[in-house]
Chain A
Amino acid sequence: SQQGEEDPQALSIQEGENATMNCSYKTSINNLQWYRQNSGRGLVHLILIRSNEREKHSGRLRVTLDTSKKSSSLLITASRAADTASYFCATTIGDSWGKLQFGAGTQVVVTP
Protein backbone atom coordinates (compact mmCIF):
# COMPACT_ATOMS: atom_id res chain seq x y z
CA SER A 1 0.00 0.00 0.00
CA GLN A 2 1.16 3.53 -0.61
CA GLN A 3 2.63 5.28 2.36
CA GLY A 4 2.37 8.80 1.13
CA GLU A 5 -0.14 11.03 -0.46
CA GLU A 6 0.79 14.04 -2.45
CA ASP A 7 -0.98 17.18 -3.39
CA PRO A 8 -1.70 18.65 -5.70
CA GLN A 9 -2.05 15.79 -8.17
CA ALA A 10 -1.26 18.19 -10.97
CA LEU A 11 0.28 21.63 -11.16
CA SER A 12 0.56 23.93 -14.14
CA ILE A 13 2.75 27.02 -13.91
CA GLN A 14 4.70 29.38 -16.11
CA GLU A 15 8.44 29.60 -16.35
CA GLY A 16 9.94 31.66 -13.60
CA GLU A 17 7.22 30.85 -11.09
CA ASN A 18 7.75 28.71 -8.04
CA ALA A 19 6.18 25.28 -7.69
CA THR A 20 5.29 23.78 -4.35
CA MET A 21 4.07 20.26 -3.75
CA ASN A 22 3.32 18.47 -0.53
CA CYS A 23 3.63 14.93 0.70
CA SER A 24 2.01 13.36 3.73
CA TYR A 25 2.82 9.98 5.18
CA LYS A 26 1.34 7.72 7.80
CA THR A 27 4.02 6.03 9.89
CA SER A 28 7.36 6.96 11.42
CA ILE A 29 10.15 7.18 8.88
CA ASN A 30 13.92 6.93 8.69
CA ASN A 31 14.16 9.38 5.86
CA LEU A 32 12.12 10.89 3.08
CA GLN A 33 13.26 11.23 -0.49
CA TRP A 34 12.05 13.15 -3.50
CA TYR A 35 12.38 11.82 -7.03
CA ARG A 36 11.60 13.21 -10.45
CA GLN A 37 10.31 11.16 -13.36
CA ASN A 38 10.22 12.42 -16.89
CA SER A 39 7.55 10.84 -19.06
CA GLY A 40 8.36 7.25 -19.89
CA ARG A 41 11.65 7.29 -18.03
CA GLY A 42 13.08 6.08 -14.76
CA LEU A 43 13.35 8.09 -11.60
CA VAL A 44 16.03 10.61 -10.78
CA HIS A 45 16.91 11.16 -7.14
CA LEU A 46 16.60 14.80 -6.08
CA ILE A 47 16.99 15.11 -2.34
CA LEU A 48 17.07 12.89 0.74
CA ILE A 49 16.13 14.40 4.08
CA ARG A 50 16.69 12.48 7.28
CA SER A 51 14.06 12.25 9.97
CA ASN A 52 16.11 14.52 12.27
CA GLU A 53 16.45 17.24 9.64
CA ARG A 54 13.92 19.98 9.03
CA GLU A 55 15.07 21.62 5.85
CA LYS A 56 17.44 20.90 3.02
CA HIS A 57 18.48 22.75 -0.12
CA SER A 58 19.90 21.64 -3.42
CA GLY A 59 20.23 24.27 -6.13
CA ARG A 60 16.71 25.51 -6.90
CA LEU A 61 15.14 22.84 -4.73
CA ARG A 62 14.11 23.25 -1.13
CA VAL A 63 12.67 20.43 0.93
CA THR A 64 11.12 20.71 4.36
CA LEU A 65 10.15 17.95 6.72
CA ASP A 66 7.74 18.18 9.64
CA THR A 67 7.72 14.87 11.46
CA SER A 68 5.10 16.07 13.93
CA LYS A 69 2.68 16.56 11.07
CA LYS A 70 4.10 13.68 9.05
CA SER A 71 4.49 15.88 6.03
CA SER A 72 7.10 17.21 3.64
CA SER A 73 7.14 19.82 0.94
CA LEU A 74 9.21 20.30 -2.18
CA LEU A 75 9.69 23.79 -3.55
CA ILE A 76 11.13 24.41 -6.98
CA THR A 77 12.10 28.02 -7.39
CA ALA A 78 12.33 29.91 -10.68
CA SER A 79 10.92 26.96 -12.60
CA ARG A 80 12.00 26.11 -16.12
CA ALA A 81 10.30 24.19 -18.92
CA ALA A 82 12.80 21.39 -18.26
CA ASP A 83 11.30 20.95 -14.79
CA THR A 84 8.18 19.50 -16.42
CA ALA A 85 7.91 16.01 -14.91
CA SER A 86 6.19 13.98 -12.23
CA TYR A 87 7.55 14.34 -8.74
CA PHE A 88 7.30 11.61 -6.14
CA CYS A 89 8.05 11.49 -2.47
CA ALA A 90 9.18 8.20 -1.01
CA THR A 91 9.82 7.02 2.50
CA THR A 92 11.82 4.24 4.06
CA ILE A 93 10.26 2.88 7.17
CA GLY A 94 11.28 0.89 10.20
CA ASP A 95 13.76 -1.87 9.68
CA SER A 96 12.77 -2.42 6.07
CA TRP A 97 15.99 -0.86 4.92
CA GLY A 98 15.89 0.41 1.39
CA LYS A 99 12.28 -0.47 0.74
CA LEU A 100 10.70 2.67 -0.59
CA GLN A 101 7.06 3.47 -0.41
CA PHE A 102 6.08 6.06 -2.95
CA GLY A 103 3.43 8.71 -2.87
CA ALA A 104 0.99 9.11 -5.72
CA GLY A 105 3.03 11.86 -7.32
CA THR A 106 2.48 15.38 -8.53
CA GLN A 107 2.52 16.05 -12.26
CA VAL A 108 4.12 19.42 -12.92
CA VAL A 109 3.85 21.21 -16.24
CA VAL A 110 5.93 24.34 -16.76
CA THR A 111 5.00 26.36 -19.81
CA PRO A 112 7.44 28.77 -21.46
Chain B
Amino acid sequence: GAVVSQHPSWVICKSGTSVKIECRSLDFQATTMFWYRQFPKQSLMLMATSNEGSKATYEQGVEKDKFLINHASLTLSTLTVTSAHPEDSSFYICSAAVVGGNQPQHFGDGTRLSIL
Protein backbone atom coordinates (compact mmCIF):
# COMPACT_ATOMS: atom_id res chain seq x y z
CA GLY B 1 0.00 0.00 0.00
CA ALA B 2 0.84 3.71 0.10
CA VAL B 3 1.97 4.04 -3.49
CA VAL B 4 2.79 7.42 -4.95
CA SER B 5 3.08 7.75 -8.71
CA GLN B 6 5.02 10.60 -10.26
CA HIS B 7 4.87 11.41 -13.94
CA PRO B 8 6.77 11.94 -16.13
CA SER B 9 9.95 10.28 -14.94
CA TRP B 10 12.15 12.13 -17.42
CA VAL B 11 11.67 15.36 -19.34
CA ILE B 12 14.00 17.05 -21.81
CA CYS B 13 12.81 20.32 -23.26
CA LYS B 14 13.95 23.63 -24.65
CA SER B 15 14.57 26.72 -22.60
CA GLY B 16 11.41 28.78 -22.15
CA THR B 17 9.07 25.81 -22.06
CA SER B 18 6.73 25.21 -19.15
CA VAL B 19 6.76 21.71 -17.73
CA LYS B 20 4.09 20.06 -15.60
CA ILE B 21 4.87 17.23 -13.21
CA GLU B 22 2.09 15.16 -11.65
CA CYS B 23 2.11 13.44 -8.30
CA ARG B 24 -0.66 10.98 -7.49
CA SER B 25 -1.37 8.93 -4.41
CA LEU B 26 -2.77 5.72 -5.86
CA ASP B 27 -4.24 3.89 -2.90
CA PHE B 28 -4.75 6.49 -0.23
CA GLN B 29 -5.98 10.03 0.14
CA ALA B 30 -3.17 12.46 0.80
CA THR B 31 -4.17 15.56 2.68
CA THR B 32 -0.70 16.95 2.20
CA MET B 33 1.85 16.64 -0.56
CA PHE B 34 5.40 17.92 -0.56
CA TRP B 35 7.68 18.89 -3.41
CA TYR B 36 11.43 18.52 -3.18
CA ARG B 37 14.35 19.33 -5.38
CA GLN B 38 17.56 17.35 -5.41
CA PHE B 39 20.84 18.21 -7.10
CA PRO B 40 23.32 15.44 -8.00
CA LYS B 41 24.86 13.77 -4.98
CA GLN B 42 23.07 16.14 -2.64
CA SER B 43 20.22 15.88 -0.21
CA LEU B 44 16.58 16.79 -0.77
CA MET B 45 15.56 20.39 -0.35
CA LEU B 46 11.93 21.05 0.46
CA MET B 47 10.40 23.47 -2.02
CA ALA B 48 6.79 23.68 -0.92
CA THR B 49 3.99 22.08 1.04
CA SER B 50 0.71 21.54 -0.74
CA ASN B 51 -2.62 21.01 0.99
CA GLU B 52 -5.72 19.96 -0.88
CA GLY B 53 -7.93 22.88 -1.76
CA SER B 54 -5.61 25.59 -0.50
CA LYS B 55 -2.62 27.53 -1.67
CA ALA B 56 0.78 25.96 -1.37
CA THR B 57 3.25 27.13 1.23
CA TYR B 58 6.64 27.81 -0.26
CA GLU B 59 9.98 27.59 1.49
CA GLN B 60 12.17 30.62 1.69
CA GLY B 61 13.97 31.31 -1.54
CA VAL B 62 11.58 29.34 -3.74
CA GLU B 63 9.85 31.48 -6.38
CA LYS B 64 6.15 30.72 -6.30
CA ASP B 65 5.62 32.26 -9.73
CA LYS B 66 8.30 30.02 -11.16
CA PHE B 67 7.10 26.84 -9.48
CA LEU B 68 3.32 26.71 -9.61
CA ILE B 69 1.70 24.12 -7.41
CA ASN B 70 -1.88 22.95 -7.62
CA HIS B 71 -3.44 20.41 -5.28
CA ALA B 72 -6.84 19.91 -6.84
CA SER B 73 -7.84 16.71 -5.10
CA LEU B 74 -6.81 14.40 -2.30
CA THR B 75 -4.94 12.23 -4.77
CA LEU B 76 -3.31 14.69 -7.15
CA SER B 77 -0.85 17.54 -6.90
CA THR B 78 0.94 19.13 -9.82
CA LEU B 79 4.12 21.17 -10.05
CA THR B 80 4.54 23.39 -13.10
CA VAL B 81 7.97 24.81 -13.80
CA THR B 82 7.16 27.90 -15.80
CA SER B 83 9.44 29.25 -18.52
CA ALA B 84 12.10 26.76 -17.55
CA HIS B 85 15.78 27.60 -17.98
CA PRO B 86 18.88 25.42 -17.74
CA GLU B 87 19.36 26.33 -14.08
CA ASP B 88 16.00 24.70 -13.36
CA SER B 89 17.41 21.36 -14.45
CA SER B 90 17.22 19.06 -11.48
CA PHE B 91 15.60 16.00 -9.96
CA TYR B 92 12.16 16.83 -8.56
CA ILE B 93 10.52 14.48 -6.09
CA CYS B 94 7.07 14.58 -4.55
CA SER B 95 5.81 12.92 -1.43
CA ALA B 96 2.36 12.40 0.01
CA ALA B 97 1.18 12.07 3.56
CA VAL B 98 -1.93 11.75 5.65
CA VAL B 99 -2.48 14.25 8.43
CA GLY B 100 -1.51 12.77 11.76
CA GLY B 101 1.58 12.75 13.84
CA ASN B 102 4.44 10.35 13.43
CA GLN B 103 3.45 9.04 10.04
CA PRO B 104 6.00 8.55 7.26
CA GLN B 105 5.81 10.29 3.95
CA HIS B 106 5.51 8.21 0.81
CA PHE B 107 7.65 9.29 -2.10
CA GLY B 108 7.24 9.21 -5.83
CA ASP B 109 10.08 7.99 -8.03
CA GLY B 110 11.05 11.49 -9.05
CA THR B 111 11.22 13.43 -12.30
CA ARG B 112 14.51 14.25 -13.93
CA LEU B 113 14.14 17.59 -15.70
CA SER B 114 16.74 18.63 -18.25
CA ILE B 115 16.42 22.03 -19.88
CA LEU B 116 18.49 22.59 -23.00
A interface residues (Cβ-Cβ under 8 A, vs B): 2, 30-31, 33, 35, 40-45, 48, 50, 88, 97-105, 107
Contact = CB atoms under 8 A, between A and B. Distances in A.
B104 A41 contact: no
Given A88-B43, A98-B49, A99-B49, A42 B110 contact: yes
Given A42-B110, A88-B44, A98-B97, A30 B104 contact: no
Contacts, number: 59
Interface residues of B, number: 27
Counting chain A CB atoms within 10 Å of each CB, which of B32, B46, B49, B102 scores highest? B102
B112 interface: yes
Given A2-B43, A40-B112, A42-B93, A100 B106 contact: no
B101 interface: yes
B101 A30 contact: yes
The majority secondary structure among interface residues of chain B is: strand
A107 B42 CA distance: 10
A98 B32 CA distance: 8
Counting chain B CB atoms within 10 Å of each CB, which of A43, A44, A101 scores highest? A43
Contacts of B45: 102
Counting chain A CB atoms within 10 Å of each CB, which of B45, B49, B99, B105 scores highest? B105
Given A33-B104, A48-B102, A99 B46 contact: yes
14 contacts: A2-B43, A40-B112, A41-B109, A42-B4, A42-B107, A43-B44, A44-B107, A88-B44, A99-B34, A99-B49, A100-B34, A102-B43, A103-B43, A105-B42
Interface in B42-61: 42-46, 49
Contacts of A31: 102
Interface string B30-44: 001010000001111
Contacts of B78: none
